Structure 1
Amino acid sequence: MVDALQFSNSQFTCPVTCYPARQAQRTVIVLPALGVTARKYAMLAQVLVGAGYNVLTTDWPGQGESLPRPGWRFNYGYRQLVEEFLPKLLLVAQRHFPDTQPVLLGHSLGGHIATLYAAANPASRVPVVGVACGNIHYRHWTGLGRLLTPSVALLCNLLASTFGHLPGKRIGFGGHEPRRLMRDWGRVAFSGNYRHLGLSLAPPSHSRVNSLYIQIADDNFAPLASTRGLAELIQAEPRIEQLASPRPPHENPHSAWLKAPQGVVACVKGWLVELPT
């Protein structure tokens, strides 16, 4: 089942794939990582359906099957995703699966957007699950990692400013990303906060959002300190579960879990059964 949403004054058309489950009470909305297309989440969606959840997957604007590609004319940042894209996606979920509770499941960048949405909507009853995601402040890494993160941020911003977008496929990081998004992402590497986005974010003490964060062992893209730094935006004492990577050590744990998502789904299901519907 396929639908679509229009984003940024209909500049972008973003296909949405719906996976129904029988007698589901919750609908899991999957928000992808930077440079990872929605079709990469098909196995995760199937396992979630098998666990009894409806699922929605989509590409970020201009990524995967969404057109047009970002460039000098087509641009957006974190704030538009939080204030426009995600609310529209929630409406698509409501239209296809009425009388079910939505759950945001964000991977990496998707976890950033889900968390910021929760911080901007502290009374929201939409639970948040973050997988392999974190605040990219350089202080959340040790050793050479403290130099690598801001260096990558500087390089990405330089390339995006030069080409009008990040040519992620050429450098092996991200996809065809909008320059404003990369600027928003990169500034966090230096500041550790999201004040530059202009969003009104409530303090964790005011949040009523239930959240779970899953950190994958040996994930150098989102180490435990980074995951905690993001989770603390909406929970003073966040719930963080650590899982071993289900794939061989030579595969990057940050995304390799998508090839065998059963452990993540079991963890999510065990948490969701504790929450009221």
Structure 2
Amino acid sequence: MTDLDLPGGGHTTVVGVDGGSTGDPVVVLLPALGVAAGYYGPFVKALAAEGVATLVADFPGQGVSRPFASRRHDFGYAAVSDDVVAATVAVAKERYAGRPVALLGHSFGGQVAMVHLATHASAAGALVLVGSGSPYWRGYPRRIKLLAQTQSVAAIAWVRGHWPGHRLGFGGRQPRQLIREWARFARRGDLIVEKGSGAGEPDFSSVNIPVLAVALDNDDLAPQGSIDNLVAKLQAAQVEHRFATRPEGEDGPPFDHFVWARHPGGFAQDVASWLKRVLRTT
């Protein structure tokens, strides 16, 4: 466990499980909105059993991280990428010096992973996107409903000074700026990141690494159209698509947007095998 001090007086903690040895991959796992790092414990342990060490930190205001998002404590995608992701990758590279590093992003975490890789080219040698797509409304079956929902979230966040997802059942407590960027992403399809006095979409076409894009069974939050819209931004990457479901005869509840992290079954073995293959050949 490693404590991290964040700009502005905040803090978070990096936790993980050792696995593998020299030459084996190390994963930095990036959570979904409102999901604490500890939620991924079963999946992290399953990866370790396959020889893959994994580190994960709570995003600002989630899990053990403090302070919570508020009108005074506001930030967006850039801060999550530059502060938390960069620091966690640094811990991984120091703790497991010489071993190849990959990012694994779940849902929103996949979007942040892409932002980070577009601005920190040497951060990782591979990327896994699990149930991670673009919130762009045209990628969903019920398009108008999705558009209305995402813009309503942004309106509530603007009025309250933060998004109270911990009370409303979606995304946890989130800062106003991040929700504004996310809602604009849902409305327009481009991920405009605000940083300092500037704003623009990172150069995702500069990401030139192997990518595994996993669509999950029973996942209404990231359907295939949503995943396709996100991955389409990675024009130079070597993208492999897979569909994950619970194999017949395997114990555990059916896969969906969240279940895989608590009941990974053979899914962790599939991810570990892919990582070992691409990181030993790149």
1:122·1:209 contact (CA, 8 Å) conserved in 2?
no
- Superimposed CA distance per residue, residues 198-248 of structure 1 (whole angstroms, 9 cap, x where no aligned partner): 3563353x4322211110023110001111111122245631101125754
Matches of 1:216 and 1:234 in 2, distance apart? 20
1:179 to 176, 180, 190: 176
1:191 maps to amino acid: R
Asked whether the equivalents of residues 119 and 234 of structure 1 are also in contact (C-alpha less than 8 Å), the reply is no
Secondary structure of the structure 2 residue equivalent to 1:35: coil
Number of residue pairs the alignment of both structures matches = 270
The answer to whether residue 86 in structure 2 is matched with residue 87 in structure 1 is yes
The amino acid of 1:180's aligned partner reads Q
Does the 8 A contact of 2:125 with 2:210 survive in 1? yes
**1:42-77 Cα deviation digits (max 9, x unpaired):** 101100100101110111011110111110111110
Q: 1:172 to 1:160 in 2, by over 3 A?
A: same
Q: 8 Å contact 1:108–1:134 — kept in the other structure?
A: yes
Check conservation: 1:213, 1:227, Cα contact below 8 A.
yes
Q: CA deviation at 1:107?
A: 0.4
The one-letter code of the counterpart of 2:256 is P
CA-based RMSD: 2.0
* C-alpha separation in 1, matches of 2:138 and 2:183: 14
**Which residue does the alignment assign to 1:228?**
228
Alignment gaps of 5+ in structure 2: none
Whole-Å separation in 2 of the counterparts to 1:276 and 1:48? 15
Q: Distance in 2 between matches of 1:8 and 1:149?
A: 34
Identity %: 28
User: Normalising by the residue count of structure 2, what TM-score does the alignment of the two structures yield?
Assistant: 0.88
Question: In the aligned structure 1, how far is the partner of 2:125 from the partner of 2:276?
Answer: 15
State TM-score, norm by structure 1: 0.90
Distance 1:200-1:109 versus aligned 2 partners, 3 A rule:
closer
Q: Deviations over 1:6-38 (max 9, x none)?
A: 2233x2101111311241522111110011111
Where in structure 2 are the equivalents of 1:6-21 lying within 5 Å?
6-9=5-8, 11-21=9-19
Are the equivalent residues in 2 in contact too, given 1:140–1:146 (CA < 8 A)?
yes
- Cα offset, 1:263, TM superposition: 3.3
Residue in structure 1 matched with residue 260 of structure 2 by the alignment: 257
Contact in 2 for aligned 1:125/1:208 (Cα 8 Å) = no
Q: Which residue of 1 aligns with 2:278?
A: 275
Letter in 2 for 1:135: S
C-alpha displacement at 1:118, in angstroms?
2.2
**Could you tell me which residue of structure 2 aligns to residue 128 of structure 1?**
127
Unaligned runs of 5+ in 1: none
> What is the one-letter code of the residue matched to 1:244?
T
